[in-house]
Amino acid sequence: MAVTAALLAGCAAPDGGGTQAGAAPPGFACPPTGTVIAFADGRRLTYGGAATGDPFVCEARRADGGTARMLANHFEVPLQDEANIRRGMAALFPLRSGSSTSFVRDRRTADGALVRFSESWRVLREGSAEIGGVTRSVLLIEHAEEIPQIGGYSGVWTYLYDTEARAIVGGDLRVIRGVNRAPNWRAASVSVPR
């Protein structure tokens, strides 16, 4: 689900909140415990709150019984270059129109090659989206990504961030250069405990 070039101007610098394991940035909270996000293909996430000792990592049970642990409720952990991702994503919060961040993260492939991702995130505006026949309040978030080592790939996701569920519930991809066959997607339903 998880689920970036240079579309941002004046990106925020990390303010220290959430940049270290064991802390979350101001304005970040995992989805309320018991929140369920379901997909048409049968996938489902049932959120259980923040990971013990790390409120910037959200935990969810998958439909197959496995557990997902996601930094900033987006990047599945463990992951390579977590410190850079943590610092970069911490700067995006609190989410509000105009919030932005950019950072570089590195990943090594199985054969040891270094792949560098240049990422930019920006909250575009408030809006609404229909999810499972229900109109939900969302923030539109742009995630631009450039990967020079993979054919000069560049693409931009526009995510729908459900403000009540505190989770991304849809994404549309626009490839600028190169190839990415990831499909656009929407949650089939969102349920937040009252």
Per-residue pLDDT, 16: 47
Local confidence band at 17 (pLDDT 50, 70, 90 cut-offs):
low
Burial (CB count within 10 angstroms: exposed 0-12, middle 13-18, buried 19+), residue 165: buried
- Alpha helices (H) along 44-169: 82-90
Q: What is the spatial distance between Cα 130 and Cα 143, in angstroms, rounded to a whole number?
A: 21
Q: pLDDT tens, 91-125?
A: 999 999 999 999 999 999 999 889 999 999 999 99
Q: What is the spatial distance between Cα 180 and Cα 134, in angstroms, rounded to a whole number?
A: 30
Q: What is the spatial distance between Cα 131 and Cα 145, in angstroms, rounded to a whole number?
A: 26
- The 3-state DSSP class for residue 123 equals strand
Burial (CB count within 10 angstroms: exposed 0-12, middle 13-18, buried 19+), residue 88: buried
- Phi, psi angles (nearest 5°) of residue 79: -145, 160
Local confidence band at 18 (pLDDT 50, 70, 90 cut-offs):
low
* Residue with the larger pLDDT of the pair 32 and 151: 32
Averaged pLDDT score across all residues of the chain = 90
Extract the tokens encoding 133.
Answer: 């026949």
Local confidence band at 14 (pLDDT 50, 70, 90 cut-offs):
very low
Lowest-confidence pick of 18-32, 133-147, 177-191:
18-32
Q: What is the spatial distance between Cα 185 and Cα 39, in angstroms, rounded to a whole number?
A: 9
This model's pTM is above 0.85: yes
Per-residue pLDDT, 149: 83
Extract the tokens encoding 178.
Answer: 């190169």
